[in-house]
């Protein structure tokens, strides 16, 4: 490609990205409805200021939920590395899975405590529990490990007793494992991505595997439902590609995806959907997160370039063992259709996860990810800047790294839980509040603010952007009178620590 043609191509791509970002920005003024924007208390059904204030007076919205949590606190320690940690859809439970072969459930309805409701020792675990998924009704949890089966843990009403049921996927390979699991929105099906390059679907009503699709050319590390229909599935693999599948037009014997995202130059570790049938994010071993628009798939030439480049670069680097060594070189794939790329975190040791921030409290304006450098990184979706870096280690000069594999932002409350391989800080609760004046400083600075577990102190003379204001902005958009946010009554609102 000549220099003139290359310049024209880059300008065209930039124009397309700007258009896509403007389109995305418009959804924050008028948020796209998502399945988890409504919880069991129906907090967001009535979208006007009077109803919000009334619900607050009735106690349905508690803006002083964590008045004592002005600092980061360790809420759980484990004897072994912890792999999974996620809130239930309604935010009232927290599910944790550890390499000690135990699944733990915590009650998150209490204002200050984090009581453990159950600790279940599970069966047939090889190296570790690799992934877990909690059913939408919170009555079952499914987990995967190195086995021909995934396992369904049925909980009793008091959650202290359980039974474990194997769900056989009947794979056609030995040394089989499911690396990624997810329930469908209605709880009727479970999808899984495996090391035999296939996507599996298990129907809980029929009690059998209903789909096995040879989807990729390498291990599948990530699968997700894209929306509430159960029809659209996305998968990400070590072949560097992300494929979108429509089950309504899927032939198991001759599977063909409806679209392909190509842009990463190393394997995919996780995928998360915005649940609006439009936007996805993916985490990759090439040390980046990418934002994708479902209306902008890669063309065949870009897909072929992805295959070629992946076979010629970083062949000697293994993210599992060489995380201390040189990382893959930053490389932009020609024709990459992604909307934006986010860099700053590190992917090593294990399949690091990333997520959109909650719709209810943030409008999904941020991306949050774990990192093998022992930190949580929070990116602004529109600008691509690192808004915040939360360090699990209390000592910034500590030489050892303690990987944060998973991270979960409470869907309705004002805190985050990190899941770390650091056994003494397996789960840490972080309070959060995005102050607009601080945000602008962070965006303008090349170095993000780093907040550690210990030595906290509050910023002086800062007026916080409260959760109340974030809620009202979601209802009315950006045309909100500044005088309407009176913070005089909110002495316990959380500000961003230095």
State the Cα–Cα distance between residues 341 and 354, nearest whole angstrom: 13
- pLDDT at position 361, please? 86
At 368 the pLDDT is 97
For residue 443, being part of any structural domain is answered with yes
What's the whole-number mean pLDDT along residues 426-442?
60
Mean predicted confidence (pLDDT) in 157-180: 84
Q: What's the total number of domains in the chain?
A: 1
Question: Residue 320: is its pLDDT beyond 90?
Answer: no
Flag whether 330 is in a domain: no
The answer to the question of residue 161 being in a domain is no
For the four alpha carbons of 299, 305, 310 and 314, in that order, the dihedral sign comes to negative
Mean pLDDT of 286-302: 94
Q: Are 357 and 367 in contact (CB under 8 A)?
A: yes
pLDDT at 328: 64
Q: Is residue 490 in some structural domain?
A: yes
pLDDT at 168 over 90: yes
% of the chain with per-residue pLDDT over 70:
68
pTM for the full model? 0.78
Query: pLDDT tens, 345-354?
Result: 999 889 999 9
Is there a domain that residue 400 lies in?
yes
**What is the pLDDT of the chain when averaged over all its residues?**
77
In the predicted model, what is the mean pLDDT of residues 43-69?
38
Q: For residue 256, name the pLDDT band (cuts at 50, 70, 90).
A: very high
- What pLDDT digit, counting tens, does each position of 194-242 carry? 999 999 999 999 999 999 999 999 999 999 999 988 899 999 999 999 9
Q: What is the pLDDT of residue 444?
A: 38
For position 174, what pLDDT does the model report? 82
In a domain, 430, yes or no: yes
The values of phi and psi at residue 167, to 5°, are: -115, 105
pLDDT for 12 equals 56
Would you state the pLDDT for residue 70? 36
- Summarised one tens digit per residue, pLDDT across range 454-498 is 533 333 333 333 434 443 443 334 444 444 333 333 322 322 222
Residue 484 covered by a domain: yes
Q: How far is CA 284 from CA 24, 80, 176, 232, 396, in A?
A: 22, 25, 22, 22, 25
* pLDDT class of 111 with cuts at 50, 70, 90: low
Q: Is 307 contained in some domain? A: no
12 vs 206, higher pLDDT: 206
In the predicted model, is pLDDT for residue 278 greater than 60? yes
Question: Between the CA of residue 188 and those of 135, 139, 208, 346, 418, what are the distances in Å?
Answer: 9, 13, 12, 35, 29
Both ends of the chain: CA-CA distance in Å? 48
Q: What CA–CA distance (Å, rounded) separates 428 from 443?
A: 25
Q: Which of 249-258, 317-326, 385-394, 395-404 has the lowest mean pLDDT?
A: 317-326
- Range of the structural domain that residue 46 is part of: 31-76+356-498
Report the alpha-carbon distance of residue 67 to residue 74 in Å, rounded: 17
User: Kindly report the CA angle at 409 between 73 and 479, in degrees rounded to 5?
Assistant: 120
Residue, of 102 and 449, whose pLDDT is higher: 102
């Amino acid at each position: 490609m000549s220099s003139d043609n290359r310049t024209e191509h880059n300008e065209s791509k930039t124009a397309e990205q700007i258009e896509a970002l403007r389109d995305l920005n418009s959804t924050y003024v008028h948020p796209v409805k998502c399945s988890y924007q409504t919880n069991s208390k129906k907090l967001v059904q009535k979208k006007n200021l009077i109803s919000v204030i009334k619900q607050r007076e009735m106690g349905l919205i508690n803006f002083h939920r964590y008045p004592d949590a002005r600092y980061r606190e360790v809420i759980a320690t484990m004897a072994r590395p912890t792999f999974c940690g996620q809130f239930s859809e309604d935010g009232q439970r927290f599910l944790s899975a550890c390499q000690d072969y135990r699944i733990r459930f915590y009650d998150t309805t209490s204002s200050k405590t984090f009581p453990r409701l159950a600790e279940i020792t599970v069966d047939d675990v090889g190296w570790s529990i690799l992934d877990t998924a909690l059913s939408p009704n919170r009555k079952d949890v499914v987990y995967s490990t190195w086995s021909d089966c995934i396992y369904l843990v049925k909980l009793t009403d008091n959650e202290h007793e359980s039974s474990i049921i194997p769900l056989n996927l009947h794979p056609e390979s030995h040394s089989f494992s499911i690396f990624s699991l997810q329930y469908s929105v209605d709880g009727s099906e479970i999808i899984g991505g495996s090391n035999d390059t296939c996507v599996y679907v298990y129907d809980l009503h029929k009690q059998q595997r209903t789909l096995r699709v040879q989807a990729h050319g390498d291990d599948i590390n990530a699968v997700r439902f894209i929306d509430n229909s159960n029809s659209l599935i996305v998968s990400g693999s070590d072949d560097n590609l992300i494929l979108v599948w429509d089950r309504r037009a899927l032939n198991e014997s001759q599977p063909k995806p409806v679209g392909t995202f190509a842009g990463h130059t190393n394997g995919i570790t996780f995928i998360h959907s915005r649940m609006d049938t439009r936007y996805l994010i993916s985490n990759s071993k090439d040390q980046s997160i990418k934002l994708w628009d479902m209306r902008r798939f890669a063309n065949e030439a870009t897909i072929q370039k992805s295959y070629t480049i992946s076979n010629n670069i970083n062949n000697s680097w293994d993210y599992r063992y060489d995380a201390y060594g040189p990382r893959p070189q930053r490389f932009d794939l020609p024709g990459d259709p992604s909307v934006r790329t986010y860099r700053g975190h590190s992917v090593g040791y294990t399949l690091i996860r990333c997520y959109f921030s909650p719709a209810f409290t943030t409008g999904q304006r941020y991306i949050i990810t774990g990192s093998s450098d022992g930190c949580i990184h929070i990116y602004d979706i529109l600008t691509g800047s690192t808004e915040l870096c939360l360090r699990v280690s209390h000592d910034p000069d500590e030489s050892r790294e303690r990987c944060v594999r998973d991270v979960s932002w409470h869907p309705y409350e004002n805190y985050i839980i990190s899941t770390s391989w650091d056994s003494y800080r397996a789960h840490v609760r972080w309070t959060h509040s995005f102050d607009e004046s601080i945000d602008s400083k962070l965006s303008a600075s090349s170095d993000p603010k780093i907040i550690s577990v210990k030595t906290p102190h509050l910023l002086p003379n800062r007026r916080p952007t409260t959760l109340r204001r974030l809620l009202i902005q979601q209802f009315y958009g950006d045309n909100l009178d500044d005088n309407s946010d009176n913070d005089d009554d909110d002495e316990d609102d959380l500000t961003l620590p230095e």
